Amino acid sequence: MENYSIILFLLAVMIGLSAVADKIRLPYPILMVTAGIAVGFIPGMPKIEIDPDVVFLLFLPPMLYDAAFNISWTEFKKNINTISTLAFALVFLTASGIAITAYFIIPGMTWPLAFVLGAILSATDAVAATSITKGLGLSHKTLTILEGESLINDASGLIAYRLSVAAVAGSSFVFWKAGLQFLLLITGGFAVGWVLGKILAFILKRIPKNKLVAISFTLLMPFIAYSVAEELHVSGVIAVVTLGLMISQFAKKLFPDGTKAQSKAIWEIIVFILNGLVFVLIGLEFPYVLGNIDRQEILPLIGYSFLICLIALAIRMARVFLQKINIDRAFRKPRTADSKMLNWTGKTA
């Protein structure tokens, strides 16, 4: 009963602060995390302990599905090379940069532990990315690249984490095994999402007029996709994202206008509540983490964290800038070739 009252209190705080976030134009996740930290320091506030697996299963699938469903498939396909480069190469590059920094600045840090830290911090979070970018006025293409990368970089971040944890445990690193595991995570997750997407499309085609059943199936399937993928030891995130992208393509044909509007309204409410809760819960954990740290170590740890954040941001900005240069060069080459052809033929445009 006590936890029930706390959840109701957190929901009330979350809903109230969401209105404040719109007025002060502060990113919603930042405000929610700050509120969670403040609530956590309230005297007598009991500690809320939730099983991480339960958090992943309850929060991650619906929010990932909603983000993938609402992303522009045309823009996603058009920018797939850029998205893939950021989601895979940049994640490994960022993990390496963080590991090197942590090894040299943190006393007692070993290489395996440094790479575990790098793997944990390297991948951007899909929920945070989609929440923060809303309302910033960014171009549609930029939003697609940012959100697309955050949706599919789970596989690279997870494989980096598994390899670094194996190194901590004393296992030897075998490159071909790591590459095979990486491919299995991605292709397996994609296969699960594709199969369940086909099944969901098949079901929805046969119940076009039953709004409640159709919407209920779209609410249920992300949880099924994530659970099945995790049971098969492939990427649950990739499975849910694939499912969302597939259904977004079928939605115009499968959903009448009334059903589509109803479904969108229900999903917006669910994602709004889950988004707020997950960030408030993150903030609530801060006082307990702080309580388990020696006071003399707090300031040095803040300094290490700040420096590692700067390094991660610098690596990502540098890689994105180089990516932009490569794209610009790719667009210039055809124009240069056309100019040479025009000069050779003696014709002008």
* Residue ranges of domains in the chain: 2-293
User: What integer is the mean pLDDT of 136-142?
Assistant: 66
Average confidence score pLDDT of the chain: 77
116-120, 190-194, 258-262, 337-341: lowest mean pLDDT where? 337-341
The percent of residues above 90 in pLDDT, for the chain, comes to: 10
Q: DSSP label at 107?
A: T
- Among residues 169, 149, 166, 26, the alpha carbon closest in space to that of 94 is found at 149
Neighbours of 69 (CB within 10 A): 22
CA-based angle 335:338:340, to the nearest 5? Answer: 115
Distance, in Å, from the CA atom of 234 to the CA atom of 218, rounded to the nearest integer, reads 22
**Rounded Cα distance, 115 and 112, in Å:** 5
66, amino acid identity: D
Among 75-89, 126-140, 232-246, 326-340, whose mean pLDDT is lowest?
Answer: 326-340
For position 193, what pLDDT does the model report? 92
Is the pLDDT confidence value at 341 over 50?
Answer: no
* Amino acid in position 174: V
| pLDDT (0 to 100) of residue 192 | 93
Residue 138 binned pLDDT confidence (cut-offs 50, 70, 90)? low
Kindly state the DSSP code that residue 89 receives in the 8-state scheme.
I
Who has greater pLDDT, 342 or 189?
189
Q: Which helix (H) or strand (E) holds 307?
A: helix 295-345
Give residue 1's pLDDT: 45
Residue 227 is predicted with a pLDDT of 92
Whether residue 346 is predicted with pLDDT greater than 60 in this model: the reply is no
Question: Is residue 147 helix, strand or coil?
Answer: helix
Q: Could you report the per-residue pLDDT of 100-135, keeping only the tens digit for each? A: 999 999 888 888 888 888 888 887 766 666 666 665
Whether the pLDDT of residue 14 is over 70: the answer is yes
pLDDT of residue 194: 93
State mean pLDDT over 166-189.
Answer: 74
For residue 244, the model assigns a pLDDT of 87
* pLDDT band at residue 224 under the 50/70/90 scheme: very high
Q: Which of 41, 53, 120 is nearest to 285 (CA)?
A: 41
CATH of domain 2-293: 1.20.1530.20
Residue 331 or residue 85, greater confidence? 85
Can you tell me the mean pLDDT for 69-96? 80
The phi and psi torsions of 137 (rounded to 5 degrees) equal: 75, 20
Window from 35-39, 73-77, 286-290 with minimum mean pLDDT: 73-77
Contact status, residue 77 vs residue 144, Cβ threshold 8 Å: no
* The most confident of 39-53, 84-98, 244-258, by mean pLDDT: 84-98
The three-state secondary structure class of 262 is helix
pLDDT band at 307; cut points 50, 70, 90: very high
Confidence of residue 285 (pLDDT cuts 50, 70, 90): confident
Residues 245-272 have pLDDT tens digits of 888 877 767 776 667 777 788 888 888 8
